Each structure stands twice: as structure tokens, then as C-alpha cells.
Structure 1
Amino acid sequence: MGAEALVDAGGGWALAPVLLWLFREGRFLADPNDLTRALALRLVEAGAPLVRLRLSLRADGPRLAGWAAVWTRGQPLDRDRVARAGLQRLPAYIGSPLEHIDRTGTAFRLRLEPAVPAAAHPLLHRLAAQGATDYLALPMPFADGRMASLVAVTDRCGGFHPDDIGKLEALAEALSPVLEAAAARHLARMQGGA
């Protein structure tokens, strides 16, 4: 994690208070849904230009293929979005930014203004129609080989600045082990039907 991501270069937002919260309090949130919501609120409080934050991961279990929680400004948290077996064959997944991350292990970014390319995944067209201007999906590899992701969407004119992207990359790196621990417990309960 580069030290430059921790410093507000002027006019931006500060990542350091968010990381401090993550290491002191956020890591104790046992439910990844609660972690998603609390993290989004901390980021917005710090000044991050977010309209949407999604944390997701491949579960690769016998009953669950994937899990996600989505925070959208002004709406209740979309909790425990699960994908059952066969996720790789669903139109919602095929060609999506999350498929890109799962397949390549690399970030996906698409500016949604002034226009989304016609061939882009339908999700990106929907977000642009709702006023989103930039989409960034970052990989968060887990120790066991599974892949998780942090997706940040903004509606700020001009999209994310390079400074925003650097901070979000540093956040994804710090968040990965915290989400891995919370998700392992949560998914074990979901898989077991408890």
C-alpha cells in the first residue's frame, strides 16, 4: 500500500480515518453485510465520491456460488445477494466486470460518461441511466485462492480522479483479509442453513 494513498493531496478525501476505523472497529463486524454498510458510510463521511459500493466474493460452495452486498446512496442495503450453482452461465455474470475480475484477477474500470459503449454489459448501461459517471471494480484475492471484489461507483461529473483510484486500491488491499474473515463465518452459516 503506497503511503501517498493515505495523504489528502488537497481537495480530495482522506483514506487514513477509514483505514483506522477498519483496523480498530470494522474488523470486528462479523457480518459482511454490516461491514459493507458501515464501510460505505465511513467512506462518504470522509468525502469519497460514492453513489454505490459493492463487496462480493466467489463462494464456490455446494449451495452458493457467490455472495454480495450492495450499498446505494439513499437506499437500504441490498443484503446477502447470493448466486446459486451455475453462476458462470447466467447473463448477469457473462461479460460482466465481475467475470473479468474472476477470470483475470485484474481491475476493471469504465467511464460511463459521456456514453457507455454499446457492447458494454447491461449493468453498466443501467448505472449510467441512473446518473453514474464512473465504475471501478478492484480484485481482492483471498488466502485460499478465492477472489473477492470491491466495486465503487460515482456520479461525480468527470468520474473518479487518479487520487480516488489510488485510495480505493489501497483500501481494497487493506480490506481483503477483513472481508475474508467475516465472509468465512457468514458463508459457513448460510451454507449450513443455520
Structure 2
Amino acid sequence: MTELHEPFPRIERQRGADRLGMVIFLGSELMLFGGVFAAALALRLRHPDDYRQAAHHLKLWLGTANTAVLLTSSLFAALAVAAARAGRPKQAGRVLVVAVLLGLAFLGIKGAEYAGEYREGLMPGTADAAFDGHFQQLFMNLYFVGTGLHALHVTIGIALMAVAAASRAARADREAVLFGNVALYWHFVDVVWVFLYPTLYLAGAR
């Protein structure tokens, strides 16, 4: 009978492979969001007036509030990794729970924003009377695709952080392998929003 062996003889190689796998995965996710940003850029270059007019329908203050919430959540995720590496597992778990709660607050704000946009007839299929032209409707379609895809990633990130916070082994790991990879994913979600915010919300601020 063939004996099974670990793929890496040293734990350092295994941890490096874990991080490399996460980086490759995030690279593929970046290409996914890259299509959204490329479409937004093309629409803005070809139809700048329609782009700005449609962006005026977005609630800038809600987008700004969500930016602050997500940036703060990302900070707490980083603090959780630092606490785990410093040998403070209980603190690491509690801090990561704060990041989870802030992520839920982000989704709550986004849900309230979507509800308002539905009432205003801005969602696809309800927006015929809300816009002056086809390209403004196209902007809103792009907005819902981009922010909806991002909200899905936020939900996944919240679930990952909740699992990590509940894991005693992850909290006690001085190398913070799981905490580090989960935090890296959460930082990616944060960075995507940092680009979505000016691309969509700030376009109508002028």
C-alpha cells in the first residue's frame, strides 16, 4: 500500500504555498472586476454627459458612509492578524468579530440604498421613466452589476472571517496563516470598493 506524505516537507513551504494560492485566486478575481471597470471607462469616455447625469442619481453620502465603514473593517482585520501573531488569541478573535460586524453594517447600508433605488425606479426593468437616454440606463445596469458583485464578495468575506474568529486553532496560530489569508481577501474587497466609489459615486459629484 502506498504511503501518503504531506506535499511540503517544511511548514514554512506549506505556509508560503497557502499565501501564493490566495494571491493567485485574488488575481483571477481582479480580472473579473477589471471587466466592470473597463466597461465603466469606455462608457465614460464615449458618453461623458450621460455618465455624469446618471451618476447624479446615486446617493453620495451613502457611498461615502460605506467607504468609511469598509476601511475601518479592513483596519480591524489587520489588527486581528497582528494580535494573533503577538500571541493574543482571544483579542484576535474579538477584533475579527468587530470586522465582521462592520461588514454586516456595510451590507445593511447597501441594502437600504438598493431599496431606495428600487422605489425611485432606478433598477433594471423599472427605470424607463427615470432617465433621459439609453446610456444613462446602461450606467445604472453597470452600477448594479459592479456593486452587486462586490456585495457578494463582501458576504463571502464575512463568512470567512466568522469561521476564522470561531476557530481556536486559527486564533492560536502564531503565524496567523488562516487569519492572514482571510484578512488578505478582505483587504482585496476593500480595495475594489475604493475604486468603485470614485468610478460610480464621485462621477456625479461635480
Q: Same fold (TM over 0.5)?
A: no
Larger radius of gyration: 2
TM-score by length of structure 2 reads: 0.29
TM-score by length of structure 1 reads: 0.30
Q: Which one has the bigger strand percentage?
A: 1
